[in-house]
Amino acid sequence: IPGDGVITGQGLINGRPVFVFSQDFTVFGGSLSSMHARKICKIMDKAVSVGAPIIGLNDSGGARIQEEVDSLAGYADIFLRNVMSSGVVPQISLIMGPCA
């Protein structure tokens, strides 16, 4: 899924798979849109499917208000995955910028 203020990917650390997402504060202040949330959810789902850690670099001003409840629903989708992944795969978060 192209763009929308979040970069996602996968790679290896010491030969072990990891999945990562990084919010880009330079795009609408890193605000969460429905597409932004879908990208994060997709990478989280991939991590859980292979039992790999999720690394999140959070740098966001919050929800993208222009999208109203759609962006807020994105938070619910992400938080559900956080809860469902708890105790299943490691979740590492770096909280940066104004959201810190």
Q: Tell me the chain's radius of gyration from C-alpha atoms.
A: 13
| C-beta separation of 43 from 83 below 8 A | no
As its CATH architecture, domain 6-99 has Alpha-Beta Complex (3.90)
**What residues contact residue 44 under an 8 Å CB cut-off, 6+ apart?**
19, 21, 54, 78, 81, 82, 85
| pLDDT band (50, 70, 90) for residue 2 | low
Distance CA 22, CA 58 (A): 6
**What residues contact residue 46 under an 8 Å CB cut-off, 6+ apart?**
10, 19
| pLDDT band (50, 70, 90) for residue 93 | very high
Residues 17-49 pLDDT 10s: 999 999 988 888 888 888 899 999 999 999 999
- pLDDT value at position 87? 95
Q: Could you tell me which residue, 40 or 2, shows the higher pLDDT?
A: 40
Mean pLDDT rounded to a whole number for the chain: 90
CA atoms within 13 A on the CB side of 47: 31
Q: What is the pTM of this model?
A: 0.89
Q: Residue 2: what are its φ and ψ, rounded to 5°?
A: -75, 145
